[in-house]
Amino acid sequence: MDVSLAVVGATGAVGELILRVLVEQGFTPSKIKFLASEKSVGKTVTFRGDTHAVELLTPAAFEGVQIVLSSTPASVSKHYAPIAVKAGAIVVDNSSAWRMDPDCPLVVPEVNPEELHHARKGIVANPNCVAIPLTVALKPLSNLSPLRRVIVSTYQSSSGKGATGLTDFNAQLTAYAAGTAVPEPTAHRAQLAGNVITLDWTLDDNGYTEEENKVVNETRKILGTPTLGVSATCVRVPVRIAHCESVNVEFERPVTVAEAKAALAEAPGVVLMDEFAGDFPQPLHAAGTDHTYVGRVRLDPSNPNALNLWVVADNLRKGAATNAVQCAVELVRRGIVSPR
Amino acid sequence: MDVSLAVVGATGAVGELILRVLVEQGFTPSKIKFLASEKSVGKTVTFRGDTHAVELLTPAAFEGVQIVLSSTPASVSKHYAPIAVKAGAIVVDNSSAWRMDPDCPLVVPEVNPEELHHARKGIVANPNCVAIPLTVALKPLSNLSPLRRVIVSTYQSSSGKGATGLTDFNAQLTAYAAGTAVPEPTAHRAQLAGNVITLDWTLDDNGYTEEENKVVNETRKILGTPTLGVSATCVRVPVRIAHCESVNVEFERPVTVAEAKAALAEAPGVVLMDEFAGDFPQPLHAAGTDHTYVGRVRLDPSNPNALNLWVVADNLRKGAATNAVQCAVELVRRGIVSPR
């Protein structure tokens, strides 16, 4: 495809995965640049079987680039995304820097792809790894009845803290399995091996973590329901890849399990699992895939208008890299970016 | 103390822990018998530093026994508890056999100790390991305002499946940590190492597991609120000991965080943790203790009458052995059983 792409943060965990997902999704740009910060220059990345040198992220590097897929810390994105836009690119940004900016759409292609047309700053924000699968599962349900309230408790994997999270967790795990002294955590807030951590994120003054606030605010924005009641408890569990979510959703009117299952079975991006056949979404199965797995759909006995469900997705793929690549594909498909 | 005790299922994980907790709680009966099924006869147990032979569980074994602390499968309890009662004993039973029997009180000593006076069948039921800490945390809150609805998602440890669960998990964990092939599960429903399992219990026709139904029904019975709305999602996580619970509680009227924290700080059995001091309940800290740890108390932004909290307790201790021993202590303290 005659589109010019730049992958910023190409040597990071999500950046490397973006390169793999681009190939898997058949999005093969005619030109592609691999950009990273100074400390990664000299490194190489692999794309379509070839080894490429990583270039330094500078303003000049964006010349002629049409789409930027960026996975950097928010502070870097704040600085460089506007520079890329000025050079003529549209930026799909994985950081939290632009997500709540009213001029930047927050897009999950299965949920609100039409928002891609309203990137007034030239920046499309890629949502949080919990909000993406949550909205993929809620959108088809919201077509049955408007949503009134969503209560979510998460079971998030170590890789949500990036490559350093996994390195930390793996070192702890080896000791925990062997029954020897577990080393002090280096990335996670506390020991994760054999443990569960609810403060693995910065705490706000209201007693909520930064992650919980993201889930609340981004879910509302993606679904286009700014006043939807959302309550989140974000929790890290000792799993390498894929996040789980226990979701209680209250509707404006009663929705039956049969209606909900029929809507989910048809929904883009969703794999509905049948508990009566012994199937249920699991991190082990979701890891390495691009789907949002939904199961355990059942009536809430405490509220006639509510259902419970269980949602699992690979946080690095659908929760990050895959969603960003899908946004890029959709930008071209919708003619927002035109092949030359 | 001149009380005669029998511990049934003395060689099991909970039975052995009961022997340890009896000593820790200073409940030292003048006579004690250690009973178990045929396959455990010949084994020994340790109590107060001495080794004791295990006796065969037979009807005659209950002669002269005043309190039976029983930890057997429900089927065994169905048969033997009435026999023990006929022999003159009061039975504190850890199985699920008698929990929903209207003539058997379901007791958490911090919550409803007065129910011990109403053991019309001579049997006191010890509740499920999730319901115990949940009600310990909810009771002081229910004194502030009647409860309207409770939504709980659990993070339950491998040891909830007993010693065979832990053996299975440990074997899996060694392989998972090493990156080698993980052996097929032998006790858990699926691989637990590096994974999260929501169907680790039998599924009912309504899409709920047996465990989820226990949490709903037992929470209502312990709190004495048979129509309280309770919704449960029970989940197994790769942790050895201690269960966590993400709890959303809706009251009849708004309850402030300050009111809730003050009530919890005073509540028997509760250790309130301050997230602003960086503290939060963790399985690693709760394991081996008898407390119910409560933290992350905060207002639910989606409902002015609701709070979120995070509850953790050792499922083998407060969730089983400790609660049973506390019931025995209370039976004597209240004169329901009199020292001879």
Q: pLDDT tens digits for B302-326?
A: 999 999 999 999 999 999 999 999 9
For B65, residues 6+ apart whose C-beta sits below 8 A from its C-beta are B4, B5, B6, B31, B33, B84, B87, B88, B89
Instruction: Tell me the residues of chain A between 262 and 281 that have a Cβ less than 8 Å away from chain B.
Output: 275-276, 278, 280-281
> What is residue A203's predicted lDDT score, i.e. its pLDDT?
97
Q: How far is B43 from chain A (nearest CA, A)?
A: 27
The residues spanned by each domain of chain B are 4-127+320-333, 131-315
Active site residue: A188, A243, A244, A291, which one? A243
| Interchain CB distance below 8 Å, A173 and B170 | no
Cβ neighbour number for residue B42 with a 10 Å cutoff: 10
Could you tell me how many residues make up chain B?
340
* SS3 state at B277: helix
Tokens in use for A193?
Answer: 């091996």
Provide mean pLDDT across the span B30-39.
Answer: 95
Q: Which long-range contacts (CB under 8 A, 24 or more apart) does B75-81 make?
A: B76/B9, B76/B37, B80/B8, B81/B123
Q: Structurally, what CATH architecture does the domain formed by A131-315 represent?
A: 2-Layer Sandwich (3.30)
Q: Which residue(s) pair with A124 in the sheet?
A: A92
- Judge whether B335 is closer than 8 Å to chain A, CB to CB: no
Strands B44-47 and B50-53: antiparallel
Q: pLDDT tens digits for B168-212?
A: 999 999 999 999 999 999 999 999 999 999 999 999 999 999 999
Contacts of A275 in chain B (CB under 8 A): 199, 203, 207
| Interchain CB distance below 8 Å, A207 and B297 | yes
Q: Which residue(s) pair with A51 in the sheet?
A: A46
Specify the range with the lowest mean pLDDT, choosing from A25-29, A83-87, A226-230, A332-336: A25-29
Answer whether residue A130 shows pLDDT above 90.
yes
Q: Most B CBs within 10 Å: which of A134, A188, A195, A249, as the mutation test of the B interface?
A: A195
Between CA A323 and CA A315 the distance in angstroms is 10
CB B123 within 8 A of CB B96: no
Answer whether residue B1 shows pLDDT above 90.
no
Helix (H) or strand (E) holding A151: strand A147-155
Residues of B identified as active-site? 129, 243
Amino acid at B113: P
Answer whether residue B44 shows pLDDT above 90.
yes
Find the CB nearest B302 among A230, A240, A312. A230
> What is residue A283's predicted lDDT score, i.e. its pLDDT?
98
Q: What angle do CA B63, B69, B71 make, to 5 degrees?
A: 120
Provide mean pLDDT across the span A260-266.
Answer: 98
Q: How far is A12 from chain B (nearest CA, A)?
A: 22
Q: How far is B92 from chain A (nearest CA, A)?
A: 30
- Judge whether B78 is closer than 8 Å to chain A, CB to CB: no
Find the CB nearest B244 among A196, A229, A306. A196
For A157, residues 6+ apart whose C-beta sits below 8 A from its C-beta are A236, A237, A239, A240, A241, A242, A243, A283, A315
CA-CA distances (angstroms) from residue B148 to A301, B127, B145, B325?
13, 22, 9, 31
Answer whether residue A28 shows pLDDT above 90.
no
Ordered alpha helix ranges (H), A224-321: 257-266, 283-286
Q: Tell me if A4-127+320-333 shares its fold with A131-315.
A: no
Q: How far is A232 from chain B (nearest CA, A)?
A: 8
Side-chain half-sphere CA neighbours of B146 within 13 A? 9
Answer whether residue B13 shows pLDDT above 90.
no
Instruction: Label residues A27-60 b or e (16+ Cβ within 10 Å = b).
Output: bebeebbbbbbeebeeeebebeeeebebbebeee
Going by C-alpha positions, the residue among A104, A102, A113 that lies closest to residue A85 is A104
pTM score over 0.95: yes
Q: How far is A296 from chain B (nearest CA, A)?
A: 7
φ, ψ for residue A244 (rounded to 5)?
-110, 155
| Interchain CB distance below 8 Å, A280 and B237 | no
Between CA A323 and CA A93 the distance in angstroms is 11
- Judge whether B305 is closer than 8 Å to chain A, CB to CB: no
Superfamily of domain A4-127+320-333: NAD(P)-binding Rossmann-like Domain (3.40.50.720)
Answer whether residue A340 shows pLDDT above 90.
no
CB A130 within 8 A of CB A233: no
Q: Most A CBs within 10 Å: which of B198, B203, B225, B315, as the mutation test of the A interface?
A: B198
For A179, residues 6+ apart whose C-beta sits below 8 A from its C-beta are none
| Interchain CB distance below 8 Å, B198 and A284 | no
Mean pLDDT of chain A: 97
- Residue matched to tokens 């960003």: A324
Between CA A52 and CA A6 the distance in angstroms is 13
Provide mean pLDDT across the span B56-65.
Answer: 96
> What is residue A13's predicted lDDT score, i.e. its pLDDT?
87
* SS3 state at B3: coil
Q: pLDDT tens digits for A4-21?
A: 999 999 998 899 999 999
Tokens in use for B133?
Answer: 């800490």
Mean pLDDT of chain B: 97
| Interchain CB distance below 8 Å, A282 and B208 | no
- Judge whether A176 is closer than 8 Å to chain B, CB to CB: yes
Q: pLDDT tens digits for B127-166?
A: 999 999 999 999 999 999 999 999 999 999 999 999 899 9
Query: If you measure CA to CA, which chain A residue comes closest to B312?
Result: A196
Q: How far is A143 from chain B (nearest CA, A)?
A: 21
- Judge whether A102 is closer than 8 Å to chain B, CB to CB: no
- Residue matched to tokens 């530093």: B49
| Interchain CB distance below 8 Å, B151 and A302 | yes
Contacts of B151 in chain A (CB under 8 A): 151, 248, 300, 302
Find the CB nearest B246 among A203, A235, A300. A235
